[in-house]
């Protein structure tokens, strides 16, 4: 431990540090855990932290897959990673000239390109530094390893990420991800509207478990019930698994899907008739659940 602290520049001498800890009987009382230690702390202060379990988690934040820029800004501020959520959100929506990126930045901003992960930022970090770290994680984990496949796909990085974000919000289990991506590819090829409920929710600016029929007419370029093709940009920041599913969609003839009897899983159909039967079964299950709750 002393050598590690010395190697990080947190103490001057590992030998003196270990000797001090042994004389004080503190070396056997170190509590395993995560600590924030700076060179400004003295050796006794460092040992007291390690002995008392004092941990400083301010700045540590987990960004969940499917989060929007607005949700990320709120999470970062709550964790103490940044002080001003509005400043972060403004930068993420207008990043041109303020972050480095190996591909041209999309006009819709960095929605979709801020990689979900657990980050350890210094408390009160500048929004530009936090944004750059999250973008760098996206580039390192997905863009760079897949540049060849992206080029061979015949689609742009923007199209792939935009589809991945919809897959993230639609698929409840891993095996459905490439299959749902395949449905989107098939519908786009046929000129069919995608009709993704999650795009309506993004247009509304809120999350709900069910979209009402009246909301399907929400006027927005993101509403894929009203507009053909992909939305203008991603509706969330997708996981690596959904990015890979979008890059490598499953090849099949399905054009439709609806939730099936297995929690989180969908059933798929290639024809309108098959889909209507699946929808009828879904609605029957939903009515039975609602009746069960009323009778409980």
Q: pLDDT digit string (tens) for 54-112?
A: 455 678 899 999 999 999 999 999 999 999 999 999 999 999 999 999 999 899 999 99
**From start to end of 145-285, where are the E strands?**
256-259, 266-269
Q: pLDDT digit string (tens) for 252-283?
A: 999 999 999 999 999 999 999 999 999 999 99
Q: pLDDT digit string (tens) for 119-152?
A: 999 899 999 999 999 999 999 999 999 999 999 9
Residues 6+ apart with CB under 8 A from 206: none
Q: What is the pTM of this model?
A: 0.82
Q: Are 184 and 228 in contact (CB under 8 A)?
A: no
**Number of C-beta neighbours around residue 43 at 10 A:** 19
At CA 221, angle to CA 218 and CA 224, rounded to 5?
70
Residues 6+ apart with CB under 8 A from 249: 178, 181, 182, 184, 185
At CA 171, angle to CA 168 and CA 176, rounded to 5?
125
Give residue 6's pLDDT band: very low, low, confident or very high (50, 70, 90). Answer: low
Percent of residues in the chain assigned helix, strand, coil, to nearest 5:
50, 5, 45
Give residue 290's pLDDT band: very low, low, confident or very high (50, 70, 90). Answer: confident
Domain 60-143 has CATH 3.40.50: no
């Amino acid at each position: 431990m002393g050598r590690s602290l010395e190697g990080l520049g947190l103490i001057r001498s590992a030998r003196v540090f270990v000797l001090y800890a042994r004389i004080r009987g503190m070396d056997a009382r170190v509590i395993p855990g995560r600590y924030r230690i700076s060179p400004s702390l003295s050796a006794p202060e460092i040992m007291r932290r390690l002995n008392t379990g004092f941990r400083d988690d301010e700045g540590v934040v987990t960004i969940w897959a499917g989060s929007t820029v607005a949700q990320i800004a709120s999470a970062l501020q709550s964790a103490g990673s940044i002080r001003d959520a509005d400043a972060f959100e403004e930068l993420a929506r207008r990043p041109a000239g303020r972050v480095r990126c190996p591909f041209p930045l999309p006009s819709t901003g960095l929605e979709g390109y801020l990689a979900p992960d657990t980050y350890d930022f210094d408390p009160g970090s500048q929004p530009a530094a936090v944004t750059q770290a999250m973008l760098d994680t996206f580039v390192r984990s997905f863009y760079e390893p897949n540049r060849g496949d992206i080029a061979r796909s015949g689609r742009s990085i923007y199209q792939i990420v935009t589809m991945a974000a919809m897959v993230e919000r639609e698929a409840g289990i891993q095996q459905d991800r490439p299959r749902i991506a395949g449905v989107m590819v098939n519908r786009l090829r046929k000129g069919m509207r995608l009709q993704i409920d999650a795009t309506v929710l993004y247009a509304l600016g809120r999350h709900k478990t069910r979209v009402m029929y009246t909301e399907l007419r929400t006027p927005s370029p993101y509403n894929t019930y009203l507009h053909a093709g992909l939305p203008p940009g991603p509706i969330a920041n997708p996981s690596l698994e959904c990015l890979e599913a979008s890059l490598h969609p499953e090849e099949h003839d399905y054009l439709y899907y609806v939730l099936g009897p297995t929690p989180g899983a969908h059933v798929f159909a290639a024809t309108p008739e098959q889909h209507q039967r699946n929808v009828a079964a879904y609605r029957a299950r939903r009515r039975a659940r609602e009746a069960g709750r009323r009778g409980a």
